[in-house]
Amino acid sequence: MEFSTNTSVSIHQVKTAALAVGIFADGVLSPAADVIDRASNGAIRAVMKTEFTGSANSTLVLRNLDGVAAQRVVLVGLGKQADYNARMHANAEKAFTSVCITARITEATSTLAAIACPGTTATDRARDAAAAASEATYHYDATFGKPNPDARPKLKKISLLVARSDSTATDLGLKQGAALGEGVSMARTLGNLPGNICTPTYLGETAKKLGREFKSIKVTVLDAKQISALGMGSFLSVSKGSDQPPRFIVLHYKGKAPAKAAAKTATGPVVLVGKGITFDSGGVSIKPAATMDEMKFDMCGAASVLGTFRALAELGLPGEVVGLIPTCENLINGSANKPGDVVKSMSGQTIEILNTDAEGRLILCDALTYAERFKPSAVIDIATLTGACVVALGGVNSGLFSKDDALAESILKAGKQAGDPAWRMPLDDEYQVQLKSNFADMANIGGQPAGAVTAACFLSRFAKAYRWAHLDIAGTAWKGGAVKGSTGRPVPLLLQFLLNQSA
C-alpha cells in the first residue's frame, strides 16, 4: 500500500476515484464536506434530508457531482460530534476503505484525518488512517492451490488531504502507520499458516530472514542441544512429544542512538517474550476435536513479536529491544509429558505437570529466566495462554497482569492509543497458594478458579528480577467461525508502547 499527503489542491478539485468526507450524526458537516456541498450546489445537504443520517461508520456514495473533480464522493458517518474520538476516526477510515475495496478502485483520497479529535495529533490521525487501510486490504492466499487474483483488493494508493501546516506531522504518521501495517500483516500471515508449514524451524527461518533484511536486527536461533545446554528443562519437556525440533529464537534490535538526554536515563532494553507453540494438541491432556484446528494460532504471541520487530526496523526507532521466542509443538508420543511428571526449569525451580495442556507457561518460564541476562528495563510476555481469559474478557480486551503500576499504566495507555485495548487483571499473592504441589516447588496449574490469574502467578515466579508484565491474548489473537483468522494483535499495542518509550 502506498500512502501520501496532499496539501496543494482545493478539495473540490482533487482528481481521484473516491473522495471521503465526514458527516456528523447531528447534521454537522466536516469542513471538507462543507466545501464539496457548496461546490456541488448543496448536493450533500440534499441527501442528508432524505438518505443519510451520519450514524457512525455508515457510508453513501455520490457519483459525478457537478463542480467536483472526484469520480465518487463518499459520505462517511462519524456519529455524534460530541462523542467523536480517535477510535471512531479509525473506524471511519476503515468504512471508507471498505467502500473502495467493494468498488474495486485502485486509488482514493480521504479528508477524514484533517478532522480534529480530542487528544489526538495530526500524526496520530495519519497513523490510524494508514493502519486502517492496511488492515482492510489484508488478504491471505498463501496456501490456496490457485490463488484468485480477482479476490485481492485492488486498492493500492491512499492520499490524505490535510492543511499544509500539518503536512510534516501527517507524513510521519503515514510512515508509522505503514510500518505498523507491515508488522500486523506479517503477524496475521504467520498465524494463518497451517501447523505443517509454520513449524518451529519455519519461525526460526522467518526470524533469520528478518535479520538479513534489516541490519538493525541481529538474530540467533538455538537448537535442542543448545537449549539443553542452557538448562531449559521445562521448555524441552514440552517438545518431547513431537518429531519437530524446538527452537529458541533471540532477536536483538538496535536502532539509531537516542538523544543524549535520553541516553543518560536508559536502564536497559525492553524485552518482548512471545509464546511459540506452533500446534497445541493439549498433549496427553488432549483438547476437544471440534476446534482443535484453531490451535495453529497458539504461536500468535511469537508472531506478534516478529511483527513488532518488522515494524520497529521499518521505522528505525531509536533504542534497544530484545525479542525471545521459545517455540515447539505440543503433541503426543511415547516421550511426551504425562500428568504427574516433574521437570526442572532453567531457574532451578521444579514444576509438577498436572495438566499437559498448560504447556505455554512451561516454555515461557525458561525464556523469562533467560531474559535476566539483558538487564532489561522491562519485560513483556505475550501469550495465547488461557481459555479462562477468553471467558473473562472475550475478544475485546487482552488480559494484562503486572505488579508494576507504572508499567501497567503505560501498556494500558498504549493499547488505548492504538485501538488495541487491554484490561488489567488481579495478581494478588493470595492466588499463589493454588499452585502448591506436594512433589515439586510448584504445580503448573492452580485449578479451575481464576485460571488466567494463576497462570500469570506461575509466570511471575520467574520474573522477579525485573519489571514485568504479562499479556494473555487468547481471546484477541484470532477470530473463529465464518471470519476465522489471525488478527495480528497485539502488534499495534506493542509498537505504540515502544513509540511512547522512544519519545
Known active-site residue 212 = no
Coil, strand or helix at 358: coil
Is 208 a known active-site residue?
Answer: no
Task: Say if residues 362 and 351 touch (Cβ distance below 8 Å).
Answer: yes
77 dihedral zone (left: phi>0; alpha: psi -120 to 50; beta): beta
Residue 484: φ, ψ to 5°: -55, 130
The C-alpha cell 490456496 sits at: 144
CB 44 within 8 A of CB 111: no
Angstrom distance (rounded) from CA 131 to CA 24: 23
Are the CB atoms for 332 and 429 separated by under 8 Å? no
Q: Which of 154, 208, 254, 287 is catalytic?
A: 287
- The one-letter amino acid at 11: I
Residue 59: exposure state from Cβ atoms within 10 A (0-12, 13-18, ≥19) = middle
Name the grid cell of 313: 526496523
Please tell me which residue in 361, 461, 467, 489 is annotated as part of the active site.
361
Check if the beta carbon of residue 102 is closer than 8 Å to that of residue 108.
Answer: no
DSSP 287-353: PPSTTGGGGGGGGHHHHHHHHHHHHHHHHT-SSEEEEEEEEEEE--STTS--TT-EEE-TTS-EEE-
> Which whole-number Å values give the CA distances from 25 to 49, 75, 386, in the listed order?
12, 12, 40
Q: Which residues are catalytic?
A: 287, 361
